[in-house]
């Protein structure tokens, strides 16, 4: 197939790590909010999109838009090449063995639901046990609860200590012959804790139990090697890693995906259909019914290119220092309590201030142009564990600066002045 040269020149980000120059790749950061420069500290909810990704999406819409897989014409083949090219990039990004193990989904939530329906409903039954952890996002609780209700299975929960670290001895005590699945987050969105997922996987595998890792908060900030982890499934969202919404991936070991039921039925996921019987397409198409979010997934591929160009390790080291600085400065403010003080943490700084409701903190910070998240962060059991109704959460990306942390600190001091 002949693919014409791109008509748009994709803007390449700069090669050296220089936060001011990196920020130029993110047009959204240039604006003011309430007359103040925008300080975007809500990256855990959704990260911003660099020019390179925006232009790649625009290029698809302007010059390549067509449906994939089914067409024999030029544009359809071009769109298919771009879409499958993005899958190839994902494969390398997470070090999967094969592209057929990388299923495109709308995000981590859909990925986890796909595994619950495709694997859980087929292989988990009455009396079986599923282990999750006390710090899961609702996306990694509710689907398993639904399965337990449907099948008469039981949900078991690995507890955590006051720092927000999982208690692995308790995990060991939960594992037994009835355990049929383990689903744990790589990094907590509410606390920032990095979990020892390799260890968690290894222990489950001693019982022959497959493990799903919710990678939504890890993928934007650090390396993921699914072969090294030996996880059975790994789910993540594109919009938290500098790609558009509607993009995401669930990785699964081919041998498991082959044995699973499809998630949804429809076009593109079949080999043949008669009224008597349908046979399913090979991986990965078996799990991708209907027209996918083509532009978004191509954007995810471009986001991976972007991360590779700026350097994931350099970005992670910079973010690490930023979190250290923010933790030091925010925890020094009288009346502030940090929620989540694990030894291994990334990106997230959750806090409460005396009796001030986090929504009030968020509102005053917004007046200062600062975007943080205030609420339960779709992790109500975490709030209950720490005995707070909600927290204020600043979450960082590699385009944030120490000056922005200083702005945050001044604004928090202002909150205390107003409500104190």
For binding to ligand PLP (CB under 6 A), which residues are involved?
107-109, 137, 139-140, 185, 189, 214, 216-217, 237, 378
In a 13 Å sphere around the CA of 395, the CA atoms on its Cβ side amount to 30
Closer residue to ligand PLP (CB): 216 or 338: 216
- Closer to ligand PLP by Cβ: residue 22 or 134: 134
Nearer to ligand PLP, 78 or 376 (CB): 376
**Minimum gap (Å) between residue 137 Cβ and ligand PLP:** 4
Alpha-carbon span 263 to 266, nearest angstrom: 10
* Residue 377 C-beta: closest distance to ligand PLP, Å: 7
Identity of the residue, 217 or 285, whose beta carbon is nearer to ligand PLP in the bound complex = 217
Minimum CB separation of residue 140 from ligand PLP in Å reads 6
What letter would DSSP give residue 20?
H
In Å, how far from its chain's centre is CA 404? Answer: 24
Query: In the complex with ligand PLP, which residue's Cβ is closer, 105 or 411?
Result: 105
The question of whether 102 is a catalytic residue gets the answer: no
- CA torsion angle for 280, 286, 287, 288 (degrees, to 10)? -110
Q: Minimum distance between the CB of residue 359 and ligand PLP, rounded to whole angstroms?
A: 18
Q: In terms of Cα–Cα distance, which of 126, 151, 131 is closest to 141? A: 131
Distance CA 27, CA 49 (A): 8
**Strand-pair category, 348-353 with 270-273:** unpaired
For 146-155, give one letter per residue: b (16+ CB within 10 A) or e: ebbeebebee
Catalytic position from the list 102, 148, 231, 378: 378
Largest CA distance in the chain: 72
State CA 199 to chain mean position distance: 21
The answer to whether the CB of 397 falls within 8 A of the CB of 319 is: yes
CB of 215 to ligand PLP, least distance (A): 8
Which ranges of 10-161 does DSSP label H, i.e. alpha helix? 19-23, 51-59, 74-94, 108-115, 121-123, 142-151
Relative to beta strand 373-375, strand 391-395 is antiparallel
- 125 vs 159, beta carbon nearer ligand PLP: 159
Smallest gap from residue 124 Cβ to ligand PLP (A): 21
Residues taking part in catalysis? 378
């Amino acid at each position: 197939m002949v693919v014409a040269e791109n008509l748009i020149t994709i803007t390449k980000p700069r090669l050296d790590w220089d936060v001011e120059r990196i920020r130029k790749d993110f047009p959204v950061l240039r604006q003011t909010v309430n007359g103040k420069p925008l300080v975007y500290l809500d990256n855990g909810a959704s990260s911003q999109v660099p020019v390179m990704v925006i232009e790649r999406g625009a290029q698809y819409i302007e010059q390549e838009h067509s449906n994939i897989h089914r067409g024999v014409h030029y544009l359809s083949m071009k769109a298919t090449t771009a879409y499958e090219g993005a899958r190839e990039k994902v494969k390398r990004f997470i070090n999967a063995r094969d592209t057929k193990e990388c299923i495109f989904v709308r995000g981590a939530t859909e990925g986890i639901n796909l595994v619950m329906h495709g694997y859980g409903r087929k292989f988990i039954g009455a009396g079986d046990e599923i282990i999750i952890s006390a710090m899961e996002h609702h996306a990694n609780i509710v689907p398993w609860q639904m399965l337990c209700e449907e099948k008469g299975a039981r949900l078991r929960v690995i507890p955590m200590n006051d720092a927000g670290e999982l208690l692995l001895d308790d995990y060991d005590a939960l594992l037994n012959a009835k355990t049929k699945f383990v689903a744990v987050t790589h990094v907590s969105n509410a606390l920032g804790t990095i979990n020892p997922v390799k260890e968690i996987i290894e222990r489950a595998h001693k019982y022959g139990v497959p493990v799903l890792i919710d990678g939504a908060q890890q993928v934007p900030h650090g390396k993921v090697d699914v072969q090294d982890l030996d996880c059975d499934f790994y789910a993540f969202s594109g919009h938290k890693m500098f790609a558009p919404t509607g993009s995401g991936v669930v990785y699964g070991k081919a041998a498991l995906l082959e044995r699973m039921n499809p998630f949804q039925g429809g076009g593109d996921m079949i080999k043949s259909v008669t009224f008597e019987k349908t046979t399913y397409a090979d991986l990965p198409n078996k799990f991708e019914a209907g027209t996918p979010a083509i532009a978004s997934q191509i954007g995810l591929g471009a986001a991976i290119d972007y991360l590779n160009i700026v350097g994931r390790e350099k970005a992670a080291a910079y973010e690490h220092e930023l979190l250290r600085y923010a933790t030091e400065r925010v925890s020094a403010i009288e009346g502030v309590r940090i929620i989540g003080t694990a030894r291994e943490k990334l990106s997230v700084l959750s806090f409460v201030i005396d009796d001030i409701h986090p929504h009030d903190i968020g509102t005053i910070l917004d007046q200062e142009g600062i975007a943080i998240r205030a609420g339960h962060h779709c992790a109500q059991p975490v709030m209950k564990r720490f005995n707070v109704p909600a927290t204020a959460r600043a979450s960082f990306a590699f385009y944030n600066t120490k000056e922005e942390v200083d702005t945050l600190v001044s604004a928090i001091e202002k909150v205390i002045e107003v409500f104190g």
